């Protein structure tokens, strides 16, 4: 975690308004912008924020949007458009979209939406995932797992012989559940299975 990132996270975590924040910076370093500070000055500010109660996040994926972003990233890997499923690759993608280094610092919905929508647009453009929803569409067809699995199925049908099975038959054989009663966890299992087949097909 960079010192500047820590400072901005601490500002949000401690609920400091701009006037209080800039006043604190000036008292500690004589400057009112963290970007104008030397590394030593930034470190001094972090120490002051710790004294005021700032608690940096632990290692690993954290934050209110981490699980959704990770699920989308793994889905993109299962679609064959992401080549590296590791969290570090996802974090690099998020950094490019938002300028934010880690999901633990991704606290604003507006910032998170930049990464989420970029991922969904990529999945639509490169893998044909249809995210559109109509009022007449059943709830089960609105699930992200259904949308992604349909796109996976279409990719496979274009590349390998699926032995005459329909999408619905494949899903229900895999999950032992009617397609309109599938849970998100069951869709994840279907996506992982289809993803494995896609990766084998493109080798």
In a domain, 195, yes or no: yes
Q: Are residues 84 and 119 in the same domain?
A: yes
Angstrom CA distances, 42 to 143, 174, 200, stand at 45, 54, 49
pTM of the entire predicted model: 0.70
Banded pLDDT at 58 (limits 50, 70, 90): low
Show the domain range for 120. Answer: 66-127
Q: Structural domain tally of the chain?
A: 3
**What is the token pair recorded at 122?**
């990529």
Q: Are residues 122 and 152 in the same domain?
A: no
pLDDT in tens, 31-48: 999 889 998 898 899 889
Q: Are residues 192 and 143 in the same domain?
A: yes
Q: Are residues 153 and 116 in the same domain?
A: no
Q: Are residues 173 and 123 in the same domain?
A: no
Q: Are residues 75 and 116 in the same domain?
A: yes
Give me the pLDDT at residue 59, please.
58
pLDDT in tens, 154-170: 999 888 767 678 999 99
- Indicate the average pLDDT of the chain: 90
**Phi, psi angles (nearest 5°) of residue 30:** 85, 5
**Is 172's pLDDT higher than 80?**
yes
Which of 49-53, 163-167, 191-195 has the largest mean confidence? 191-195
**What is the token pair recorded at 24?**
């604190």
Name the DSSP class of 105.
G
Name the DSSP class of 29.
H
In a domain, 134, yes or no: no
**Is 119's pLDDT higher than 80?**
yes
Banded pLDDT at 66 (limits 50, 70, 90): very high
Q: Are residues 143 and 102 in the same domain?
A: no
In a domain, 42, yes or no: yes
Q: Are residues 149 and 194 in the same domain?
A: yes
């Amino acid at each position: 975690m960079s010192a500047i990132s820590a400072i901005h996270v601490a500002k949000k975590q401690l609920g400091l308004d701009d006037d209080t924040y800039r006043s604190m910076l000036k008292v500690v370093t004589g400057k009112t912008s963290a970007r104008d500070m030397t590394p030593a000055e930034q470190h001094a500010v972090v120490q002051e924020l710790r004294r005021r109660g700032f608690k940096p996040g632990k290692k690993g994926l954290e934050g209110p949007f981490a699980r959704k972003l990770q699920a989308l990233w793994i889905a993109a890997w299962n679609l064959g458009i992401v080549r590296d499923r590791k969290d570090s690759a996802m974090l690099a993608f998020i950094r490019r979209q938002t300028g934010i280094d880690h999901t633990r610092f991704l606290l604003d919905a507006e910032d998170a939406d930049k990464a989420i929508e970029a991922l969904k647009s990529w999945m639509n453009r490169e893998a044909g995932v249809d995210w559109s929803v109509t009022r007449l569409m059943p709830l089960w067809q609105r699930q992200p797992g259904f949308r992604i699995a349909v796109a996976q199925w279409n990719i496979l049908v274009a590349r390998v012989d699926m032995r005459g099975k329909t999408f619905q038959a494949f899903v229900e054989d895999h999950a032992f559940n009617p397609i309109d009663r599938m849970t998100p966890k069951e869709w994840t299992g279907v996506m992982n299975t289809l993803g494995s087949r896609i990766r084998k097909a493109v080798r």
